[in-house]
Amino acid sequence: MHEMSLAGGILRLVEQAAERERFDRVTRLHLEAGRFSGVEVRALRFALDAIAPGTCLDGAAIEIDEPPGRAWCLKCDASVDLDERADPCPQCGGHRLQPTGGTELRVIDILVND
């Protein structure tokens, strides 16, 4: 499960921010895991909950948005939303699509207590 290593990386990033910005506890962690990111959101949430005790994430509310994948259709010259990478263009039915968004896993914001 690579979500456990992703959760560890997120925790390290938050701990580095805590050291740099001098806060002790996170009350809310807001993430974005795009539909094409390859992240299983339920598994990531489970992993974050599993590693949180005893860290600055202990007790934090974790929100994870899942924006759709975006792609540029080379056939009809349009930017479109897709649910799955293998889906055809919803406008023309073509399969010559270049992903342009929804591939990211990122921290949107962190709400903290001093």
Domain-embedded: residue 38? yes
**Amino acid 105: pLDDT:** 96
Task: Please state, in angstroms and rounded to a whole number, the distance separating the CA atoms of residues 81 and 103.
Answer: 12
Confidence of residue 84 (pLDDT cuts 50, 70, 90): confident
* Residue 1 reports pLDDT greater than 70: no
Range(s) of the domain holding residue 31: 2-67+102-113
Q: Is there a domain that residue 36 lies in?
A: yes
90 belongs to a structural domain? no
Residue 17 belongs to some domain of the structure: yes
Determine the pLDDT at residue 113.
82
Number of compact structural domains in the chain = 1
Task: Tabulate helix, strand, coil % of the chain (nearest 5).
Answer: 25, 35, 40
Residue 33 lies in a domain: yes
Is 90 exceeded by the pLDDT of residue 108?
A: yes
Question: Which CATH number characterizes residue 20's domain?
Answer: 3.30.2320.50
pLDDT in tens, 39-70: 999 999 999 999 999 999 999 999 999 999 99
Asked if residue 53 is part of any domain, the answer here is yes
Q: Is residue 97 part of a domain?
A: no
Residue 8 falls within a domain, yes or no? Answer: yes
4-44 pLDDT, tens digit each: 999 999 999 999 999 999 999 999 999 999 999 999 999 99
User: How would you class 85 by CB atoms within 10 Å of its CB: exposed for 0-12, middle for 13-18, buried for 19 or more?
Assistant: middle
Residue 101 has pLDDT above 80, yes or no: yes
Mean pLDDT score, 71-93: 93
